[in-house]
Chains A and B, each alone.
Chain A
Amino acid sequence: MATIDLTLKIWRQNSPRDKGRFETLAARGISTDMSFLEMLDVVNEQLTLDGREPICFDHDCREGICGMCGAVINGRPHGPQRGTTLCQLHMRHFADGDTLAIEPFRARAFKVVKDLVVDRSALDKVMVAGGYIAANTGSAPEANATPIAAATAELAMDAAACIGCGACVAACPNASAMLFVGAKVSHLGLLPQGRPEAARRVLAMVREADRQGFGNCTNVTECEVECPKEISIANIARMNREFLKAAIASRER
């Protein structure tokens, strides 16, 4: 089993009001089979035994699906591997002697809570504004009553794969959440059951994203590059069409 030694320049910040600073820590004897978060676990165990406070970071499933983890590694959300969450990034992708700068996701809408932990509740607020199909429990028709072409269902599934981690926001120079919004608008809007609310949904979600302090999309496409689920920016284009249609031709405002 190969091991490597690393130097970590890691962001430490005690609270939202604290200014924060980089701290340099050594990570020694790291197995290349470890995940990035397991590497942080090892560092944290040592910090604890040394009587220091371990690094706070969000994480839960460690299978790349819950969307809770995430940090910026050498300038890239979730690190250098395409289509990979931080918990699924393995240390074999780093070399002995590397220095890693580790920072929280930064955006106006995401305030730092502590160390690498940020508050992403703004994304929930965008969902609350309209990211749903109103279908009260019990009122559903028989599931096979409305056939949906496999290709359409696959496109909806591509968009629905978004894990809501916020990497797209952290990657975007405008701190825009349009890939997140576009994915949800596409997922629900592509399905026939999502059409009745489509106009209202897109207007409400975009408006709420603005209100939460997310920037606008200027087609930089960094979001698509960094998205751990490789959500396509075609979803933003679809959202824009949906938005125009809603703003011009619908009765919704």
Chain B
Amino acid sequence: MTKLDAKIPGGPIESKWERHRFDLKLVNPANKRKFNAIVVGTGLAGGSAAASLAELGYNVKAFCFQDTPRRAHSIAAQGGINAAKNYQNDGDSVWRLFYDTVKGGDFRAREANVHRLAELSVNIIDQCVAAGVPFAREYGGLLANRSFGGAQVSRTFYARGQTGQQLLLGCYSAMCRQIGTGKIKMFPRREMLDLVMVDGRARGIVVRNLISGEIERHTGDAVVLCTGGYGNVFFLSTNAMGCNVTAAWRCYKRGAYFANPCFTQIHPTCIPVHGTYQSKLTLMSESLRNDGRVWVPKNPGDKRAPGEIPESDRDYYLERRYPSFGNLVPRDVASRAAKAVCDEGRGVGDTGLAVYLDFADAIARDGRATIERKYGNLFAMYEKITDEDPYRQPMRIFPAVHYTMGGLWVDYNLMSNIDGLFVLGEANFSDHGANRLGASALMQGLADGYFVIPYTIGGYLAGTPLSPVSEDDAPFMDSARQVTERTQRLLSIKGHRTVDDFHRELGSILWDYCGMSRNNDGLAKAREMIRDLRAQYWQNVLVPGRGDDLNQSLERAGRVADFLEFAELMVEDALARQESCGGHFNEKFQTAEHEAMRDDENFCHVAAWEHTGDGSAPQRHTEPLAFEHVHLTQRSYK
């Protein structure tokens, strides 16, 4: 077991980033145009990185699997983006955002990274406003804020319930400008299927052109991976249908370490599952918990309609259990609390797997118009899906897989253990520990892309001798051959079960044994079940069509093949971490009040897994975490 070096700069935490930026080597403006950067993924991290690097003068090749970069899944983020502007004069500061994020992550994030994130948060808002993001404003014209979970200040900036969309359009339009200047060459409808290494460094990627089926080879001086999270391993999640782990997993198989894969976030407020045909779950933004009150009947089996249940028979369990944070406790806490009341038989709806999110008090207090202005699009979406009017009856919600805190291991420069492979946004692991606070994903994606990578990539390129490479070199040809063989193999099995059928089964294994609550027996069982399912997959999957044109079944088949490998690592990581923290809740480790109980003596570290070959056990490395500024305590939101 090696100890990983995160290359955290020395000195006081408040000035680490400033000093590090000075220490990083610079590439002079005339030389920047000699370097080529590959950016994979065009969400908030990838879009902001591609645009910012191109503005600096680097040649950027950007890739996405959608038909245009504007569709990346960041677009679906609803509620908002945090920033320590303290516009509300309510006691916010960079330090408080740093503190809340470290604590919210249950002390499994890296302090130095989180502090940098909090510092950069204020620049992000400035940048977005300059780019034309129409944030909500007060009547006087100044920016408005709302509150999110895990914080007692209002620091969340928002654009109705479409914040992610507006931020992404900001990045996308900045990309468009650079596509126009020729500094970004855009490759849509491409899926990254391999990382190419030359002399131990990341020097390119192999992608499949999803329209022509052609396997393409692309060279670069650095590869910036911004490919999002792996929530879709659960089949049902709030992720877009195309979200997948393939790009990150291919890097893992080339030697990049995968950190904390068992840290997954189950979001408390989603529309409950309602049928076996269901393809995805829909989030109802956490911002709704500003005004909505969560409750269930006091008595198990109370089947009365919500309007017929008097106040005295209702249990506003979050307000009861956590009086100081109330409905705005962090997501992991809120999700477990919802599961607990459903386990007690107090869940509502047909399945008993739902709780109420009720706006009656807010509508009575502020009027329907105000609620409509704040959440109108969310209420409309809820009505479209459920055919129920949330202005008249409470929403029914249940936790669902939403975000993944784990990801490829990176150092302070956001570079993986492979030289030249940078990982940004949800695809890396560094800032959210074991639980991400609401409205922090957008903040991290943009901090990484706008303000971190432009500096750290220069430091790498200026300080690294890079020999010229060609896409016809052996490593590129070998990789393309392997990718082609794998694609052909998937097509040639011609079994009896569809890709989705396998994926759904994998998802239910993980949800049952590696979801909101885990135990050692269940995890061990899941590991066997996943291995069996994977073996069956390669014998019995049915992938129709050909490899040389648009074949959406083939795209999914490759992604699910990787999910089937990745799922085992996730379970392995959950088994190895014999404690509970944030989103990872092992039933063996809980307080008397059923809160997650950490083991700081043995597990105050990042677990980073190394691939040691197919069929051989992955090796677990650790990066110890030091908490010098936020004292390790049992989290309390009471």
Could you tell me which A residues sit within 8 Å of B by CB distance? 1, 14-15, 31, 33-35, 37-38, 41-42, 45, 47-49, 51-54, 56, 58-68, 81, 83-84, 88, 90, 92, 113-114, 117, 119-121, 123-124, 127-129, 131-144, 146-150, 153, 156-157, 160-161, 163-164, 187-188, 191, 193-194
Contact = CB atoms under 8 A, between A and B. Distances in A.
A140 B129 contact: yes
B553 to A, nearest CB: 6
Contacts of A68: 66-67, 71
Given A34-B277, A68-B66, A160-B134, A61 B125 contact: no
A61 B75 contact: yes
B73 interface: yes
30 contacts: A35-B385, A38-B277, A38-B279, A41-B277, A47-B544, A48-B553, A53-B544, A53-B545, A54-B545, A62-B240, A64-B381, A65-B76, A65-B165, A68-B67, A113-B550, A117-B550, A121-B188, A123-B68, A124-B70, A128-B177, A128-B180, A132-B131, A132-B176, A133-B130, A134-B177, A137-B451, A140-B126, A143-B126, A150-B137, A187-B132
Interface string B466-477: 000000000000
A90 B385 contact: yes
A63 B132 CA distance: 24
Contacts of B186: 124
A67 B122 CA distance: 30
Interface of B: 48, 51-52, 55, 66-68, 70-71, 73, 75-76, 85, 87, 123, 125-132, 134-143, 159-160, 162, 164-166, 169, 172-174, 176-177, 179-180, 186, 188, 211, 240-242, 274-275, 277-280, 282-283, 380-381, 384-385, 387, 450-451, 454, 496, 498, 500-501, 542, 544-545, 549-550, 552-553
A26 to B, nearest CB: 16
A150 B180 CA distance: 32
Counting from the closest, the 10 A-B pairs by CB-CB distance are: A147-B141, A140-B130, A132-B173, A135-B130, A140-B126, A137-B52, A157-B134, A60-B240, A143-B129, A61-B240
Contacts of A164: 68, 70
A54 B130 contact: no
B500 A121 contact: no
Given A62-B279, A63-B282, A127-B173, A54 B553 contact: yes
Given A143-B128, A153-B136, A187-B132, 13 more contacts: A1-B275, A61-B241, A66-B240, A84-B384, A124-B70, A128-B176, A134-B177, A137-B127, A137-B174, A149-B137, A157-B159, A160-B159, A161-B165
B136 A119 contact: no
Contact of B544 (A1, A41, A54): A54
B75 A66 contact: yes
A82 B387 CA distance: 15
B624 to A, nearest CB: 34
A132 B68 contact: no
A139 to B, nearest CB: 7
A84 B383 CA distance: 12
Nearest to A159: B134
B279 A37 contact: yes
A53 to B, nearest CB: 5
Contact of A160 (B123, B169, B280): B169
Given A66-B240, A137-B454, A127 B176 contact: yes
A35 B274 CA distance: 12
Contact of B280 (A54, A62, A128, A138): A62
A193 B275 contact: no
Contacts of B500: 41, 45
A143 B85 contact: yes
Contacts of A120: 67-68
Contacts of A119: 67
Contacts of B134: 153, 156-157, 160, 187, 191
A3 B484 CA distance: 42
A44 to B, nearest CB: 8
Contacts of B140: 147, 150
B66 A135 contact: no
Choose among A66, A131, A142, A194 the residue with the greatest number of B CB atoms under 10 Å from its CB. Answer: A66
B385 to A, nearest CB: 7
B126 A137 contact: no
Nearest to B274: A33
A61 B76 contact: yes
Contacts of B274: 33
Nearest to B282: A63
B57 to A, nearest CB: 11
B76 A153 contact: no
B203 to A, nearest CB: 26
A76 B360 CA distance: 37
Contact of A135 (B127, B141, B164, B387): B127
A153 B129 CA distance: 11
Contact of B131 (A35, A90, A135, A161): A135
B132 A194 contact: yes
Contact of A54 (B169, B384, B552): B552
A160 B167 CA distance: 11
A60 B241 contact: yes
A138 B51 CA distance: 12
A129 B280 CA distance: 36
Choose among B385, B501, B544 the residue with the greatest number of A CB atoms under 10 Å from its CB. Answer: B544
Nearest to B85: A143
A148 B137 contact: yes
A54 B141 CA distance: 51
Contact of A33 (B164, B275, B380): B275
B252 to A, nearest CB: 24
A216 B385 CA distance: 36
A128 B123 CA distance: 25
Given A128-B176, A137-B451, A153-B136, A66 B129 contact: no
B498 A66 contact: no
Contacts of A143: 85, 125-126, 128-129, 143
Contacts of A15: 549
Contacts of B545: 53-54
Contacts of A52: 544
A141 B173 CA distance: 19
B74 to A, nearest CB: 10
B148 to A, nearest CB: 18
